[in-house]
Structure 1
Amino acid sequence: MKYKRLVPSLLLTSVIMMLITSPSRSEEISSIGVPQSTPSTKTPANSTPQPRLVTKAQFVKPITQIRRLSEIERPTTSAETLLVQSSTQQTPPSSEVVQVTGVKANPTNKGVEVILQTSKGQQLQITNRSAGNNFIADIPNAQLRLPSGEAFTFRSDKPIAGVTQITVTNFDAKTIQVTVIGETSVPTVELFDSPNEGLIFSVANTAPSAQQQQPQTQQPQVERPESETQSSQPSASGDQPIELVVTGEQDGYRVPDASTATRTDTPLRDIPASIQVVPRQVLEDQRALRLQDAVQNVSGVTQGGNYGGTNSGSYIIRGFEQDGNFRNGFRDSDFFTLSDIANLERVEVLKGPASVLFGQAQPGGIINLVTKQPLSEPYYAADFTAGSYGFYRPTLDFSGPLNSEKTLLYRLNVAYQNSGSFRDFVDTERIFIAPSLTWKIGTNTTLNFDFEYLNNDTQFDRGIVAVGNRPAPIPISRFLGVPGANDGNSTVYRAGYRLEHRLSENWQLRNALSITINKVNNFVAEPDSLIDDRFFNRYYENSKFETDTYSLQTEVIGKFATGSIIHQPLLGIELNRSEGPLIFRDVILPPLDIFSPVNNSVVPTDPLEASFNVKTRADKLGIYLQDQITLVDNLKLLVGGRFDFTEQKNDDLLASTSTSQSDQAFSPRIGIVYQPVQPISLYASYSSSFLPVIGNSADNSVFEPQRGTQYEVGVKADLSNRLSATLAAYQITKTNVLTTDLDNPSFSIQVGEQRSRGVELDIAGEILTGWKIIATYAYTDAEITEDNQLPVGNLLNNVAKNTASLWTTYEIQRGNLQGLGFGLGLYYVGDRQGDLANSFVLPSYFRTDAALYYKRNNWKAAINIKNLLDEKYYETSQTRNVIYPGAPLTVLGTISVEF
């Protein structure tokens, strides 16, 4: 079926799904998680990481926009709440059953306030105990009742890291029971008055004054800090709630769940794939300035292209270079599209073929950038970084509510960067602005808007060249372009919305739109071909193009049970269009002596003659279905498949010709997870990918899409409550690779094959209190297995067989030096082939980074030293004429504040 015939009917289907989707009745089970496209809204680094309920709470009935306790209207009759903790039930002061008429939740930047409200004047008591991993609090002489008199139950799934579920329910005819289920241990529970400290239950009532009793401390800990005791006295209005705070594991390096692999917020231990997350805390501690700084913390990921030194480029995962990144679950244009680190909450890397949910992609994996989202509590942060080569960069991050009901939230991230470089004549200026808005339309509906603007001006830099089988023995600072003439400008606009509506307790509808407009205009003087081991031909080129990408996703997510088997299905439709012109104009320049460059070439000021002028348009349609099946508590199955239909049209404006091509593909995935004991997950999976290949062979037949298949096995282990590890082994085979047609050398034929196999280890978390670590190792054997021109056995370019990294920090927890921290980074990359012909080698390197910081109240000062030992190394290459050196010793100093 042609794509254009499918679009009207599928758009109609999408609208109908949004309007009338009504799932059949099923057994009641826990609520579904957050969508893939919904990022976590954690507190930025340098503060306690924020639990991930802020977004989830919108889908857990009856969580919605809630006023703060101080804003709740109360009768003039005042009371003081009585909380009593004991190991045995205490006699309530009244035999009358108190009616709790509402359970509300107010997400905050550190958790969520959960409020039990009454309209009676009776005294309440709390009795707590622990059972297994559960903290249980009983409130005697009370019942949950709606205003209509009906009973109800409140539940919140995975509200914060380390806490699996919170329920508030009627235990019997005279007792409300609050249960907090820990993931691996009993949660720590504190009792105090601050509304800003984590996940909060607040029992608010309007009873007459009563003697307040201070609880004892036990495990689980329930305590009232001495400094907070006086604030619990009745206010001027005679009304003061007492709050119960539940704190889960919130270490900054270990992320227990992610959404990229399944488009649902699923614990990593339940996913039959290797997925690694680099959280904001790591980016802050390392003072990351580019995406490459983030992905160096993930095994099996290295940099591919580095488009003109702009650090957009592409990344190689498990041996295969991807064609671009994803952003909040959407394809983010192509590898020419720049990103800034200021608006990133975390970076998620899914290893292996991902076409089942994301469509056309290389088989190595994808990188999904998850952006920051608005917070319901006021948050303000600013930092200023200055360092080597005239670098300086201020950033701002503001967030909070726009109205008293907290139904309208905003966030604004701003960054400005100005710097020179260790590369001669290269400097950069960047402006980045990213506002976002969240509108809580109702109890079950939320609408998010986001926008980004990025403008980047730089000297377009192609690095150095290869001589013989190594990079040329010239200073890594030497610029081989024409100073002042290598101008590069990129402007990126991003905008979109995300609508989420809860249809019922177990069914949810999502609809989202993403628009990316990328405008590039570069003037480049660079080496073209080698004359001898000293002189290179050069040309001057103007490349100008614009890529406009529009993506629309509609998904339905549910949960139901068939007997004892639990299903979590996901059904989605995705439409994507990418279009724009691509124009090249060039002229030949005099040869360049790379050992004694004289950059006095005169470049033309008049418009250059066009050598390439093509307008492209690609339309894509994907329909996908996935089911996460829990067979028993320790045995889980993941199955899914996607049909993709693509159509691409190219108009050659110079030759006045037009070509078009249509492709379709089915991409399956299946995986299983077995957990013999709670901390250990064993998994195995099969997955596939596809990528259209545009063109024709000598007999005018259309090329088939490239296909990738992967077999993977692995083990995931929670080494402690705060430290986890993933060990994976895999084999990926990529087929239908283009290679030279020996019978018609000017044409290609699809008989090529490439294979990658390897072992990867990732460890992340907290070893001891204050001692954090993120460490990786990868063995990657990626080679050509079939080809008509290149020798079989040649290694894939830019892929080292051995890579390893270690980043660790320690912060002193008490005493006069409390807040003083140290960081150490070690990064090893082995020898890499510079091209598929294996004609030159990028030598191995071992780089050392270090950090020293001090935190005091809401201030932080830090010094980050990159390449401490001044190692000479090369990050990546694109051809023999484009090799990018790594930066020498670089020092960055940062002052930051948040409140």
Structure 2
Amino acid sequence: MSSQLLWSSSRLCAAISTALACASPFAANADAIAADATTLERIEVAASPNPLDASAAAGTRLNLSVQETPASITVIDRQTMDERGVRNTQEALFGIPGLAVASPPGNGNAVTWRGFSGAQIAQLFNGIGVQYDAIAARPVDGWIYERVEAIGGPSSFLHGAGAVGGSINYVTRLAQLDRDDTQALATVGSFGSGMVAAGTNQRIGGDDAHDAIRADATWSHSDGWADRNKREATTLALSWLDRIGDDLSHTLALEYQDEDSERPYWGTPAYRDGDTLRIVDGTRTRNYNVADGHYGQQVLWARSLLEWQPSARTQVRNTLYHYDALRDYRDVESYRLTADHQGVIRSAALLQRHDQQLFGDRIEWSHEGTLATLPTQWSAGADVSYNRQTRFPLSLPGVVDTVPIDSVIPGSFFDVPGAEQVYRPDRTNCLHTQALFVENLTHLNSRLSLLTGLRHDWIDLDVVNHRAVSATNPVRFQHDYAPTTGRIALDYAWTPRASVYAQVATSADPPAGILTTANFATLRDFDLSTGRQEEIGTKFQSVDGRHYATLAAYHIVRENLAITDPANPGQTLPVGQQSSRGVELAFGVKPLQALSIDGNLAWVDATLDDFYESVGGVPVSRAGNRPTNTPSRVANLWLDYLFAPQWSAGLDLRALSSRYADTANTTRTAGYGVLGAHLRWQLDPSTSLTVRGRNLADRDVVIYALNTDMVYLGEPRSWELELKKAF
């Protein structure tokens, strides 16, 4: 089946690449028409850069653009985030084809991509993984980030264990020596929301400066669309660039995040209508968490970046980094309806603390030269890190109480029997990682290039149990892993702006769970699971950069994941298999000088090929079923029209198909489409005022199924007024 998919898709890719190349005359005609439109020349709005010209840092350590890299890569830059009104890192991810994302508090950034989710999607910060991605990547205010990058499919050869479905990288703004600038942003909106943000880059010494300092800060507040769910957050980023010499520079970067959420919204109880989950009328904004529910996090990043360029073709980079995070939960987290739908049964009271520290150093060498007379690029390096996390859970899993469905302030956490404000450690996971990696790009001729990559990791996991010792929870558990992963890809450039490619990539990730939280029962003596992807694709951009398109078709198989032992439901075996195949399209069209259209479409067929789960102590096969919360279709569209010299208007649409709430595939959530719009007034070249509406149809949107009794809803209709100023 995979070979048929790849063969059919290769023909489709070649056809589309040829058809798009034929569009260049149309682009030239459009330029000629636009040249006569002298009125539009007065518009003081910068054109968006073509995303295929962006650096492909998410998909390679070589000096390549997205166009030149034979992989499915997406870059959402700062300008694009501003134009789309991106408030946080989660909303930036809508620009990635096929990706679905939600942020329930217990799974801070639940990403599903190419049929995989959880630990199978790596989420990195400036290229650094913390091995706790779904929680550590909780959405934060997006002002401090320069761009968000992503590569679809296995990418362990770049970032280490994990990432069978893809990798996402959040890149922070850093000090630069090319300019002085200052920006400020203020917003006010529905549900008592507001934000104030500012950023400045200043050179010390003017045009001949050898030093620059950048500072970015954000403060945001919201009363929340769910009852009494107040949130306040502060985000800071500071960096100092020192050009020590002509060939040596150093950057010191610090980041701090502080978030407090009172009475976090954990979800809404739901009932089955046929096979579809629905909510009771009047409960849309109800919050069934206890009155003193709380979530808080404090995160500190510190990085030392040293760059040495001994020659025009050679560069050495060293990154020394430290990450420190503390997260606290105090909530009642699960709700289900009574039989008459007049009450809500609450359970799963939890008080928990996560204390995590990461220390590491990475050194990279890159060189451009020749290999047997063929132009070539090399990148090689080593990565060493120490990751330690201790969790302190006080879990009270039984039923807490039953409250009326119209409850306003349903009790206190400390009313629950056994609840107390104490932090007793459960276990400490220590992860020592050492890695060597190498990449090479060789141009076999003027059009054909070969890209290869290889990485080998030595991973030592040491788990110390602080609780009662048992056969499934020993006092200490140790395991070593040594995965080798890689990529090989061919790229054929019909022209410098139209190409087709094919690649094979592999990955390695835990058979279940996450290494920084795993216990003996989860891992036992199992090795890491393995993943393999075959992908073909095509990329095109017009000569003038006004039109672009990318198309990718892929097939991924993940093997050796942990499943329930069919002969012994109390045990697990690392023999399961999951697979997916799909097609992703991203495009940008500018048919008129004043009109731009961007979007993406994706289809995926994801399957649990060999999977058993225990149901009431009985192993049940789920082979052939679709994984939970995995839509088969995802689409996004953005339209922006400059209808007057200082005025523009835009529409945005996001649509997802239905998703299953259980691996049995008996219960689903409805698909949805959400429409937004904005109107922008460009007062002068440096000042804009924008009014923006989200979910204009005010639809009840289920963005995540927590289980078959409870769903996580999206934001109702909301409005926002934004003032942006550059100095």
TM-score band, normalised by shorter chain: 0.7 to 0.9
Q: Does 1:358 align with 2:159?
A: yes
Q: CA deviation at 1:279?
A: 1.4
**Aligned position for 2:65:** 267
**Aligned position for 2:11:** none
Q: CA deviation at 1:882?
A: 4.9
**Aligned position for 2:135:** 336
TM-score w.r.t. length of structure 2: 0.85
The superposition leaves residues 703-726 of structure 1 with CA deviations (integer Å, 9 ceiling, x where unpaired) of 110111000011111145222111
Q: CA deviation at 1:305?
A: 5.0
Q: CA deviation at 1:528?
A: 6.2
**Aligned position for 2:490:** 672
Match of 1:477 among 264, 285, 305: 285
Q: In structure 2, do the counterparts of structure 1 residues 696 and 480 end up closer, same or farther at CA, with 3 Å as the change threshold?
A: closer
Q: In structure 2, do the counterparts of structure 1 residues 859 and 793 end up closer, same or farther at CA, with 3 Å as the change threshold?
A: same
Match of 1:650 among 441, 463, 466: 463
Q: In structure 2, do the counterparts of structure 1 residues 365 and 350 end up closer, same or farther at CA, with 3 Å as the change threshold?
A: same
Q: CA deviation at 1:283?
A: 1.1
**8 Å Cα contact 1:730-1:758 kept in structure 2:** yes
**Aligned position for 2:540:** 717
CA distance in structure 2 between the aligned counterparts of 1:739 and 1:830, rounded to whole angstroms = 27
Aligned partner letter, 1:505: A
**8 Å Cα contact 1:375-1:409 kept in structure 2:** yes
**3-state SS in 1 of match to 2:83:** helix
Match of 2:528 among 697, 705, 712: 705
CA distance in structure 1 between the aligned counterparts of 2:523 and 2:213, rounded to whole angstroms = 55
**8 Å Cα contact 2:124-2:167 kept in structure 1:** yes
The superposition leaves residues 528-549 of structure 1 with CA deviations (integer Å, 9 ceiling, x where unpaired) of 6777574424132101111112
Q: CA deviation at 1:451?
A: 0.7
CA distance in structure 2 between the aligned counterparts of 1:557 and 1:608, rounded to whole angstroms = 52
**Aligned position for 1:526:** 333
RCO (CA 8 Å, sep 6+): is it higher in 1 or 2?
2
**8 Å Cα contact 2:652-2:677 kept in structure 1:** yes
CA distance in structure 1 between the aligned counterparts of 2:61 and 2:226, rounded to whole angstroms = 41
**Aligned position for 1:867:** 695
**8 Å Cα contact 2:269-2:337 kept in structure 1:** no
Q: Does 1:464 align with 2:464?
A: no
Aligned partner letter, 2:211: L
Q: Does 1:412 align with 2:225?
A: no
Gaps of 5+ in 1: 1-183, 189-248
**8 Å Cα contact 1:305-1:878 kept in structure 2:** no
**8 Å Cα contact 1:321-1:362 kept in structure 2:** no
CA distance in structure 2 between the aligned counterparts of 1:463 and 1:741, rounded to whole angstroms = 32
Match of 2:386 among 554, 562, 577: 577
Q: Does 1:251 align with 2:55?
A: no
Q: Does 1:397 align with 2:220?
A: no
**8 Å Cα contact 1:400-1:410 kept in structure 2:** yes
**Aligned position for 1:730:** 554
Match of 1:280 among 66, 75, 78: 78
**Aligned position for 1:432:** 235
Q: Does 1:454 align with 2:228?
A: no
**8 Å Cα contact 2:106-2:135 kept in structure 1:** no
Greater shift, 374-383 or 704-713, is seen at: 374-383
Q: In structure 2, do the counterparts of structure 1 residues 530 and 660 end up closer, same or farther at CA, with 3 Å as the change threshold?
A: farther
**Aligned position for 1:684:** 502
Q: CA deviation at 1:301?
A: 0.7
**8 Å Cα contact 2:332-2:346 kept in structure 1:** no
Aligned partner letter, 1:655: A
CA distance in structure 2 between the aligned counterparts of 1:765 and 1:261, rounded to whole angstroms = 24
Q: In structure 2, do the counterparts of structure 1 residues 305 and 398 end up closer, same or farther at CA, with 3 Å as the change threshold?
A: closer
**Aligned position for 2:595:** 771
**Aligned position for 1:622:** 435
From the two aligned structures, give the one with the greater strand fraction. Answer: 2
Aligned partner letter, 2:654: Y
**8 Å Cα contact 1:737-1:753 kept in structure 2:** yes
**3-state SS in 1 of match to 2:154:** coil
**8 Å Cα contact 1:466-1:840 kept in structure 2:** no
Q: In structure 2, do the counterparts of structure 1 residues 515 and 836 end up closer, same or farther at CA, with 3 Å as the change threshold?
A: farther
CA distance in structure 1 between the aligned counterparts of 2:103 and 2:532, rounded to whole angstroms = 24
Aligned length: 647
The superposition leaves residues 664-723 of structure 1 with CA deviations (integer Å, 9 ceiling, x where unpaired) of 111021000011233320100000100134679999961110111000011111145222
**8 Å Cα contact 2:270-2:336 kept in structure 1:** no
**8 Å Cα contact 1:697-1:703 kept in structure 2:** no
Aligned partner letter, 1:712: E
**Aligned position for 2:117:** 321
**8 Å Cα contact 1:592-1:598 kept in structure 2:** no
Gaps of 5+ in 2: 1-26, 32-45, 470-474, 613-619
CA distance in structure 2 between the aligned counterparts of 1:530 and 1:579, rounded to whole angstroms = 40
Match of 1:752 among 544, 562, 576: 576
**8 Å Cα contact 2:477-2:520 kept in structure 1:** no
The superposition leaves residues 482-512 of structure 1 with CA deviations (integer Å, 9 ceiling, x where unpaired) of 12x1111111111101111012221111100
The superposition leaves residues 388-437 of structure 1 with CA deviations (integer Å, 9 ceiling, x where unpaired) of 00111010011111234311101110100011121111110011111111
Q: In structure 2, do the counterparts of structure 1 residues 305 and 826 end up closer, same or farther at CA, with 3 Å as the change threshold?
A: closer
**8 Å Cα contact 1:586-1:610 kept in structure 2:** no
The superposition leaves residues 420-466 of structure 1 with CA deviations (integer Å, 9 ceiling, x where unpaired) of 12111111001111111111111111111111111101032211133
Q: In structure 2, do the counterparts of structure 1 residues 294 and 696 end up closer, same or farther at CA, with 3 Å as the change threshold?
A: closer
CA distance in structure 2 between the aligned counterparts of 1:305 and 1:659, rounded to whole angstroms = 32
**3-state SS in 1 of match to 2:245:** coil
Aligned partner letter, 1:718: Q
**3-state SS in 2 of match to 1:269:** coil
**Aligned position for 1:375:** 176
**Aligned position for 1:797:** 628
**3-state SS in 2 of match to 1:267:** coil
**3-state SS in 1 of match to 2:135:** coil
**3-state SS in 1 of match to 2:91:** helix
From the two aligned structures, give the one with the greater helix fraction. Answer: 2
**Aligned position for 1:595:** 405
Q: CA deviation at 1:884?
A: 1.4
Greater shift, 605-614 or 321-330, is seen at: 605-614
**8 Å Cα contact 2:100-2:634 kept in structure 1:** no
Aligned partner letter, 1:627: N
Q: In structure 2, do the counterparts of structure 1 residues 582 and 458 end up closer, same or farther at CA, with 3 Å as the change threshold?
A: same
**8 Å Cα contact 1:514-1:550 kept in structure 2:** yes
Q: Which has the larger radius of gyration?
A: 1
Aligned partner letter, 1:648: L
Q: In structure 2, do the counterparts of structure 1 residues 255 and 303 end up closer, same or farther at CA, with 3 Å as the change threshold?
A: same
Q: In structure 2, do the counterparts of structure 1 residues 359 and 851 end up closer, same or farther at CA, with 3 Å as the change threshold?
A: same
RMSD after superposition: 2.5
Aligned partner letter, 1:429: E
Greater shift, 591-600 or 324-333, is seen at: 591-600
CA distance in structure 1 between the aligned counterparts of 2:535 and 2:353, rounded to whole angstroms = 42
CA distance in structure 2 between the aligned counterparts of 1:619 and 1:878, rounded to whole angstroms = 33
CA distance in structure 2 between the aligned counterparts of 1:530 and 1:650, rounded to whole angstroms = 39
Aligned partner letter, 1:664: A
**8 Å Cα contact 1:736-1:750 kept in structure 2:** yes
Q: In structure 2, do the counterparts of structure 1 residues 529 and 851 end up closer, same or farther at CA, with 3 Å as the change threshold?
A: closer
The superposition leaves residues 101-125 of structure 1 with CA deviations (integer Å, 9 ceiling, x where unpaired) of xxxxxxxxxxxxxxxxxxxxxxxxx
**Aligned position for 2:704:** 876
Q: CA deviation at 1:332?
A: 4.2
CA distance in structure 2 between the aligned counterparts of 1:521 and 1:452, rounded to whole angstroms = 20
